[in-house]
Homo-oligomer: A and B are copies of this chain.
């Protein structure tokens, strides 16, 4: 197996945290996006989208999309369990992972892409949309704060892949002008807890 990684990338970080929780280490090829290493014909042959992470298996199969790769490793090494133990728990974790992704991570990516000088000239930017996306992310933070007032983690009593998604999202927000606002004690308590896990530095 070979993992293609991007040190500063949000989705690569989700996978690295997941693998660290599992205690799995893989041979890694680190790409530098600023040098266009994800746009070479060779890399686009692995993933036409040019995104990371990418996992190449020994039989030549290629997997992209961080959550698809996480699921693969969940099956190869079920413990510690991060996707759920029965049909209902798995569905509930999937629901929270998707809420974290669609309502928090994606808006935070969008506000970064559409508002940050980093992307000027690299991608079309529509500042007005970036502002809407940032507002949406803040609204989701307030919602998650209310949810986390009532239980330890997003999907229930234990840390799961849904927390990893929200954690990577908030780290992106923190680094791109959309930090956790004051006055959200439930989310702040959760953030302190997930950030203090050894995997948070993966």
**A92 and B63 form a contact (CB under 8 A):** yes
Place the interface of chain A in its size category. 20 to 34
A50-66: CB near B (< 8 Å → 1, else 0) gives: 00000001000101110
This chain: copies in complex? 2
Indicate if A88 sits at the interface (CB-CB under 8 A).
yes
Indicate if A22 sits at the interface (CB-CB under 8 A).
no
Residues of B contacting A30 in the complex (Cβ-Cβ under 8 angstroms): none
A78-115: CB near B (< 8 Å → 1, else 0) gives: 00000000011011101100110001001000000010
**A87 and B67 form a contact (CB under 8 A):** no
- Hey, which bits of chain A sit against chain B, CB under 8 A? 48-49, 57, 61, 63-65, 67-69, 71-72, 75-76, 87-88, 90-92, 94-95, 98-99, 103, 106, 114, 124, 126, 128-129, 132, 143
